[in-house]
Every structure is written in structure tokens, then in C-alpha cells.
């Protein structure tokens, strides 16, 4: 009695304990026996079903006894078989896509190109709308940001161009609509400032041109003086040459009687750089002998020895 009391106490303390009603022992044993028989009967039936299934199951590698086996996924070499398979699989694929769009209310689009390049497509709504939606979904966000920034920049540049065109027309006096007195005064001050800058630039350009022309004039004057010196040297050499040819008395007579020399000196004083050098008339008449005499005189004046022909 003491042990039973302890067990009852432990069962009461256990929260998972459920007290069962008292039943007849013989009735309980008969129920257990019936349950055991049912379990054995189910086990025998299950074993029989498994045995029958194993008898009718064919090995996978035995292709002669197979009905419809697995197809190896690789390229079909026969062109006719490949085309037939493509047609059947394409029809099945389009059928499944249509069922998917109807059952799940999905927007489906399929595009198939055959090996010959022929196009086959299916769209539950419209292929164009599906492609546009796909592009919008898969578009790069950075590209979208760049496009938006470029659009803003283009709008800003267009506005700046419009403002510059209006300002240009105002400067030309073509458009003054919408301008009040203050705006007109500002425009007038800007025009006056522009005119002052233009005049200053014009004065600077003119001063530069004057300086350039004055420098060119000084160079021309210097060249003119050098040419005059050369003319005087040539004139002196001509006089010395005539002295050596005719002597002092002959040169005086030739200088008084020759109009060519007088005209040469006159033109030298008038024109300057334009020179006309000629031999006296008597020298031209004498011929070869006078030419040899002139050559001898030139050789004496120079440091190199003279060679007569």
C-alpha cells in the first residue's frame, strides 16, 4: 500500500500524467489481440505488393524490354530526327507556357530560333510590351542615373543658350520687351563699357601698327643710307679707274666733255639707289685694247696676280 501511495503521489506531481479509466482485463487483452492480427494482416499484404512490383520491374539497361526509357541529352546527329524533336518539344514548350500564363495569371513571353534561323515566339499579352518591361526591369541603375543627369545638363545648356540669344538681341537693339527702366540702364552701362573696351583695343592695335611701320621705315632708311654709301664707293672706283686709264688730264677732259658722266651724277643725286654704270664713249670705241688696260688696272689694285689672255 505504501508503494502504491508513492506511485500515485509521483503521478499526481507529474504534469503529463493522464489518469485512464479502469477497464476489464479480458476485454483489454482481446482488443490487443485483434489489433495484433490486423497489423500482421497489413504486413502480409504489403509484402505481397512489394513482391509483385519487383516481379514486373525491368532493369533500366535492358533496352529491349523497355517501353519508354530516358533519352540521353546530347545533339541529335540525324537532321530529320532533330527537326521532328524540335517541332514536338517546341509545341510542348509553348503549351506549358500558355498553361502557366492562364493558371498563374503570369505574363509569359518565349522566343525560339531554330537551327536554320527561323523565329518562333509566344506571348501571353504582347511581345513588345513584355520586352519593354524586361528592359525596364533589368536596366542598370547607374545607366539610368547617368541618363537623367545628362537630360538635366542638356536642359540647362538649352536654357543658357536661350538666355544668351536674348541678351545678344538686346545688345543689337532688336528686343526690349519685358525690360523696365533699371534693366535698360544696366544694358546701357554694359554697352558703354563694351564701347570703351573696343576703343581701347582699337587704340592699342593702331599703336602697334604705327610702331611696326616706324620700325620698317627706320630699316628702309638705313638700307637707303647703305645703298647711297655703296653708290658713292662705286662712283669713286669709277673715277679712279678712269684716272688710271686716261691720266689726270684725260679724266678732266672726259669729265667736261662727256654728257654721260654728268647725267649719271645728276641721277645719282636725284634717285639714289637706281644705278646706271657705263664706260665712256672713247673706251667703247677703242675696243679690245682698252678692255685689256682696264683688266691690268684692276689686277694692280687687287692682291691676286693678273693673267692676260
Whether residues 190 and 297 fall in one domain: yes
Rounded CA separation 22/166 (Å): 109
Q: Does residue 53 sit within a domain?
A: yes
User: Which range marks the domain in which residue 53 is found?
Assistant: 19-58
Write the pLDDT tens digit of every residue in 2-44: 454 554 555 555 555 545 555 567 787 888 888 888 888 888 8
Whether residues 238 and 190 fall in one domain: yes
Q: Does residue 214 sit within a domain?
A: yes
Rounded CA separation 283/245 (Å): 9
Rounded CA separation 199/193 (Å): 10
Whether residues 39 and 147 fall in one domain: no
The model's pTM: 0.29
DSSP state of 287: T
Whether residues 98 and 147 fall in one domain: no
Q: Does residue 296 sit within a domain?
A: yes
Whether residues 36 and 120 fall in one domain: no
> What is the pLDDT at residue 60?
47
Q: Does residue 72 sit within a domain?
A: no
Whether residues 215 and 292 fall in one domain: yes
Q: Which residue has the cell 686716261?
A: 246
Q: Which residue has the cell 523565329?
A: 119
Whether residues 150 and 193 fall in one domain: no
Q: What is the CATH number of the domain that holds 115?
A: 3.40.1810.10
Write the pLDDT tens digit of every residue in 109-138: 999 999 888 999 999 989 999 999 888 888
Q: Does residue 173 sit within a domain?
A: yes
Cell of 193: 563699357
Write the pLDDT tens digit of every residue in 204-262: 999 999 999 999 999 999 999 999 999 999 999 998 898 888 876 655 555 554 444 44
CB 263 within 8 A of CB 278: no
Whether residues 200 and 293 fall in one domain: yes
Whether residues 194 and 171 fall in one domain: no
Whether residues 160 and 188 fall in one domain: no
Say how many domains are in the chain.
4
Span 266-287, average pLDDT: 44
Q: Does residue 309 sit within a domain?
A: no
Percent of residues, the chain, with pLDDT higher than 90: 30
Res. 274 pLDDT band, cuts 50 70 90: very low
Whether residues 30 and 88 fall in one domain: no
Q: Does residue 262 sit within a domain?
A: yes
Report how far apart, in Å, the C-alpha atoms of 83 and of each of 71, 95, 269 are: 16, 18, 112
Q: Helix (H, G, I), strand (E, B), or coil: what is residue 261?
A: helix
Whether residues 218 and 155 fall in one domain: no
Q: Does residue 255 sit within a domain?
A: yes
Amino acid at each position: 500500500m505504501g508503494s502504491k501511495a508513492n506511485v500515485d503521489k509521483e503521478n499526481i506531481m507529474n504534469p503529463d500524467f493522464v489518469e485512464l479509466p479502469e477497464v476489464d482485463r479480458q476485454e483489454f487483452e482481446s482488443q490487443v489481440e485483434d489489433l495484433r492480427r490486423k497489423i500482421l494482416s497489413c504486413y502480409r499484404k504489403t509484402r505481397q505488393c512489394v513482391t509483385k512490383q519487383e516481379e514486373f520491374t525491368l532493369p533500366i539497361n535492358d533496352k529491349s524490354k523497355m517501353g519508354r526509357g530516358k533519352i540521353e541529352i546530347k545533339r541529335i546527329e540525324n537532321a530529320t530526327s532533330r527537326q521532328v524533336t524540335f517541332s514536338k518539344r517546341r509545341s510542348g514548350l509553348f503549351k506549358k507556357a500558355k498553361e502557366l500564363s492562364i493558371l498563374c495569371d503570369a505574363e509569359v513571353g518565349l522566343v525560339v530560333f531554330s537551327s536554320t534561323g527561323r523565329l518562333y515566339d509566344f506571348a501571353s499579352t504582347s511581345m513588345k510590351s513584355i520586352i519593354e518591361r524586361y528592359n525596364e526591369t533589368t536596366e542598370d541603375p547607374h545607366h539610368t542615373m547617368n541618363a537623367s543627369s545628362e537630360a538635366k545638363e542638356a536642359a540647362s545648356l538649352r536654357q543658357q543658350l536661350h538666355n544668351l540669344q536674348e541678351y545678344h538681341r538686346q545688345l543689337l537693339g532688336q528686343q526690349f520687351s519685358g525690360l523696365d527702366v533699371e534693366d535698360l540702364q544696366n544694358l546701357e552701362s554694359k554697352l558703354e563699357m563694351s564701347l570703351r573696351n573696343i576703343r581701347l583695343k582699337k587704340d592699342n592695335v593702331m599703336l602697334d601698327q604705327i610702331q611696326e611701320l616706324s620700325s620698317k621705315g627706320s630699316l628702309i632708311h638705313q638700307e637707303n643710307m647703305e645703298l647711297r654709301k655703296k653708290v658713292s664707293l662705286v662712283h669713286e672706283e669709277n673715277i679712279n679707274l678712269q684716272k688710271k686709264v686716261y691720266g689726270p688730264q684725260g679724266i678732266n677732259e672726259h669729265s667736261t666733255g662727256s654728257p654721260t658722266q654728268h647725267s649719271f651724277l645728276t641721277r645719282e643725286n636725284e634717285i639714289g639707289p637706281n644705278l646706271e654704270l657705263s664706260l665712256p664713249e672713247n673706251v667703247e670705241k677703242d675696243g679690245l685694247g682698252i678692255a685689256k688696260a682696264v683688266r691690268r688696272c684692276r689686277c694692280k689694285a687687287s692682291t691676286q696676280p693678273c693673267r692676260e689672255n
